[in-house]
Amino acid sequence: MSKAKTQFSCSNCGYMSPTYLGRCPNCGEWNTFVEETIAKENTGAVNPTRVNFSGKQVQPQLIDQVNAAAAPRFTVGSQELNRVLGGGIVPGSLVLIGGDPGIGKSTLLLQVSGELSQLQKRVLYVTGEESADQVKMRADRLQIPQNEDLYVFPETDMTAIRDAIADLKPNVVIVDSVQTMQESTVTSAIGSVAQVRGVTSDLMNIAKTNNITIFIVGHVTKGGAIAGPKTLEHMVDTVLYFEGDQHHAYRLLRAVKNRFGSTNELGIFEMADHGLQEVQNPSEIFLEERLKNATGSAIVVAMEGTRPILVELQALITPSVFGNAQRTASGVDRNRVSLIMAVLEKRAGLLLQNQDAYLKAAGGVKLNEPAIDLAMAISIASSYEDISTDVKECYIGELGLTGEVRRVDRIEQRLREAAKLGFKRVLVPKHNLDLVEIPQGLQVVGVTTLKEALQLSLKK
């Protein structure tokens, strides 16, 4: 029997040390080292040589001899998921989906399994958290069509899972979840850094050598990051985050890493009685509860990946009771709020240093692009001056520290989305109007400074 040894691994980044350390020298986090017992000869790699189930070993080949068209993407019934994945599922890809407990990760993947089986794609649904009866009950509740191409396998041992994949030869494998799987060659506890790393490495080899698409579910920590070492996110091809408030019906599926498509793509779903339903026009949802003649409200056309979305930015400016004014933000960056307020005070003459500011992006969406600056500034000024903005007007533009309104990208897509939702006037950077096709019925006004934009939008 080989002699066992003990090592310590950082649960945040996977850094390994022979002794316990209070602070990880790699990522700088405190109290993240956990003890692991591994066999001396174990390197953590289950199958270091890539060999597929037919026994064929991967060989070097010239890149011009690689036939990428031999494995085209295939789409599922959910157009929102297709968009987030970059146009469909890439065969042989490894996709990681993370999200809070109960947010709908298993529901989404079970619905996708049913849709793929309807398209004659063989699917193996591996569950380590439920029994086969429980999965069947959930499938019945979600009214998922069930046929001979959808298999359920309640198992946590990776050896048994590899054998099942070799026997069934599925097109898609779903593993729910990676923290419940156990690699027999790793002696650490289930869910430990070594186990997660070993299981993901094994799944990656299966996906790449056999051209099987694998979706894996990952738990998240209290901070919202996917549990396990950061190497988990580096190993996979695509990382999707399933976001949303459990007290609201809407769920956001966001791509933060995608080797086969654009990052920051956004898919929007609504949790209904029979599972997740696609939201085809999210702009209407984000604007449906907007009050007419409300102060502190401004509409912006934001880009989420390749999709334009109209979102209401709300601001509440009140005199500060304490010595230091508060800056609170939800859905937008708090530092950006402070920057915009400084520009308003210096370039527009608004006395905001003794005012508390509360900003929110309505609907639970998170915005982080520069094009929202102008709408943020107008919503803050609207609340401060107690003057409402036009309900049929929206604002697009980035603000500079000297008070200029700078150009933004994809202006034509933003204008088309505003016209489709019935808006009559849009304030945009003047330099964006060169060679731009303006939709019929939409008045587009070019502005060069923040002062000019405030004069046009806040009229008593």
Residue 87 in marked binding region: no
**Contacts (Cβ under 8 Å, ≥6 apart) of 264:** 254, 255, 256, 304, 305
Q: Give the angle subtended at the CA of 186 by the CAs of 183 and 179, to the nearest 5°.
A: 50
Residue 18 in marked binding region: no
Q: Residue 377 burial (CB < 10 Å; 0-12/13-18/19+)? A: buried
Residue 387 in marked binding region: no
Query: Residue 311 corresponds to which tokens in the numbers above?
Result: 């979102």
Residue 99 in marked binding region: yes
**Nearest 5°: phi and psi at 164?**
-65, -40
Residue 104 in marked binding region: yes
Residue 106 in marked binding region: yes
Residue 77 in marked binding region: no
Nearest one of 416, 345, 319, 332 to 371, comparing CA atoms: 332
Q: Which residues of 170-198 are buried (b: 16+ CB within 10 A; e: fewer)?
A: bbbbbbbbbbbbbbebbebeebbbbbbbb
Cβ–Cβ < 8 Å for 427, 450: no
List, as residue ranges, the binding site: 99-106
List, as residue ranges, the binding site for ATP: 99-106
